[in-house]
Structure 1
Amino acid sequence: MAFNPLPLNTGSYSGGNALNADTRSIDALKASAARDPKASIKEAAKQFESLFMQEVMKSMRASTLSSGLLDNSATQMGTEMLDQQFAGKMTGLPGGLSAAIERQLQRQMGIADGGAKDATKTLQPLPALAKKGIAPHVQSFIQKHDAAAKSAQEQTGIPASFMLAQAAHESGWGKREISNKDGSPSFNVFGIKATPGWTGKVAEVQTTEYIDGKAQKVTAKFRAYGSYDEAFKDYARLIGSNERYRDVVAKAGTAEGFARGLQKAGYATDPEYADKLARVINTTVRVQRALA
């Protein structure tokens, strides 16, 4: 969404009362908004504050009795120009009104304090999400791992939404992530076990396995990573280079085909794994469309 600044610059007056916008300043703000929306917001906020301060000083002068002996149009213009300079000096101070306006505009524009707007990570207001039936933790999970999933898509050819959904299903949308013994995260959102050939860190936890069709609690070793990006990259290597999952990539055209391919390849022991994963994939795609 392009930032369209309001006419805030108060460079000229009409009749000594109405404040007119400097159209050149407006055009400059519009041009800079396309290049650097965060800087444009900062400038617009300062102009809001400057306008407010001028109005305050104007009201203060109006409430003060004047002699009227030397008052004329020239002295009035000089006073207004002086007030404009004073307002400029008091504008943009740390903790001032412009800082509060800037924060509010950034929230409305979906721009984080640390950088420019990223359309793939912009959070919609919670009321809007509620109307679409999207839980905040679902939106947060998808946006948190979107970049890593897209990177894995380039390596595997599997749609990013499918991998996001699988990570969501395995981790309960991030609520049941595998933790190390000290409570720190393992970043293993795919539930990938530590096979004999794994040389990295390991997280040993209790999990549910289906043996002869019956759910049983067992202790298993899972791979541990240094970040979520590492987890997605390892998943991409596992799916993309292992002959066992060759058909999974080939059948990744539909949610059901991908999910059933994983179950057939033995990714999980849950007999209902494919149906559960397919439902989560459909949910993920629906949410992504709603957030687009």
Structure 2
Amino acid sequence: MALSSTPFNAGNSLTSDTRSIDALRAAAARDPKSSIKEAAKQFESLFMQEVMKSMRASTLSTGMLENSATQMGTEMLDTQFAGKLTGLPGGLSDAIQRQLQRQMGLKDDAAKNAVQPLPVLATKGIAPHVQTFIQKHDGAAKAAEAATGIPASFMIAQAAHESGWGRREITGRDGSPSFNVFGIKATSNWTGKVAEVQTTEYIDGKPQKVTAKFRAYASYEEAFKDYARLIGSNERYANVVAQAQSGGAEGFARGLQKAGYATDPEYASKLAKVINTTVRVQRAMA
């Protein structure tokens, strides 16, 4: 942005520098956000110079060796100090910039990059950790949906059910995360890292504590990709994928249980309830 490079001092007012104003107006038409940032820095610079000026005025003058030359030198020094104090992160210019952006209807970059809150209809009756879990895995689930055709909401729901909405995730003995939110076991054909933990298995309909090895990943995205490969390429889950693609949440849940994904006899009904919750929140997010 083309602004005047001449520092503002006590002998020049901002209104008299027409070239700077014209340049700022022209730049604002091309890039409003950058112009707002520069204008905010200009305002902060003016403010800091006034602060320096007030400090000088409150200091008693000795009158010795003071003339127009020393006064000019002092003003130039104050301008340099004001410039060094202008534009610092979290400073006055940031606050001015946010205020100007709101007045012009422009989104703040910090707000844009932050996790956006869910709409009121979505949050009604939904616990915060549920909302956070859905938002956290939305991107990875949609990528897996593109690969398998299984709705992202179904996969997020299954990950939520297996991990207790992220509060019972599988970790290694040293506490390191496995990112395995689907509870996928490490069978003999798995060559990656594993996490060995105690889990509950239903044997002859009765819950028993057993020690099992689970797959460990480098990220949640990797976990969703592996889940997509497992479900999409295994003949055992062919009917499950078909049910999911038709939009049948209960059929998808029953298909997983029938295919032996889990030993819990109530797995299908539990998963279907979680899917309904996830779908309701995601629809409100759309």
Q: Fold-level match, TM-score > 0.5?
A: yes
Q: Partner letter of residue 161 of structure 2?
A: H
Aligned to 2:151: 159
Aligned to 1:3: none
Aligned to 1:276: 270
**Structure 1 residues 46 and 201: CA distance shift in structure 2, 3 A:** same
Of 189, 196, 201, which residue of structure 1 is paired with 2:193? 201
> 1:49 offset after TM fit, Å?
3.4
Mapped contact 1:91–1:98 kept (Cα < 8 A): no
Separation (CA, whole Å) in 2 of partners of 1:261 and 1:189: 19
Aligned to 2:208: 216
Separation (CA, whole Å) in 2 of partners of 1:128 and 1:26: 39
Identity among equivalent positions (%) equals: 71
Aligned to 1:241: 233
SS in structure 2 at match of 1:111: helix
Which one has more relative contact order, counting CA pairs under 8 Å at least 6 apart? 2
Structure 2: runs of 5 or more not aligned: 1-12, 16-20, 59-75, 102-106
SS in structure 2 at match of 1:204: strand
**Structure 1 residues 234 and 28: CA distance shift in structure 2, 3 A:** same
More helix by share: 2
**Structure 1 residues 140 and 12: CA distance shift in structure 2, 3 A:** same
> 1:242 offset after TM fit, Å?
0.2
Aligned to 1:49: 44
Deviations 1:208-244 (A, max 9, x none): 1111211111111111112212111110110000000
Of 128, 135, 138, which residue of structure 2 is paired with 1:136? 128
Structure 1: runs of 5 or more not aligned: 1-10, 14-21, 64-81
Aligned to 1:290: 284
**Structure 1 residues 215 and 98: CA distance shift in structure 2, 3 A:** same
Greater CA deviation, 44-53 or 229-238? Answer: 44-53
> 1:177 offset after TM fit, Å?
0.5
TM-score of the pair, normalised by structure 2: 0.69
TM-score of the pair, normalised by structure 1: 0.68
Separation (CA, whole Å) in 2 of partners of 1:27 and 1:284: 48
Bigger radius of gyration, 1 or 2?
Answer: 2
Deviations 1:24-63 (A, max 9, x none): 8467447535xxx6x5774464356357558879999xx9
Aligned to 1:111: 110
Mapped contact 2:186–2:194 kept (Cα < 8 A): yes
> 1:164 offset after TM fit, Å?
1.0
Instruction: Tell me the matched-pair count.
Output: 251
Q: Partner letter of residue 127 of structure 2?
A: A
Of 173, 176, 195, which residue of structure 1 is paired with 2:168? 176
Say what the alpha-carbon RMSD is for the aligned residues: 4.2
SS in structure 1 at match of 2:240: helix
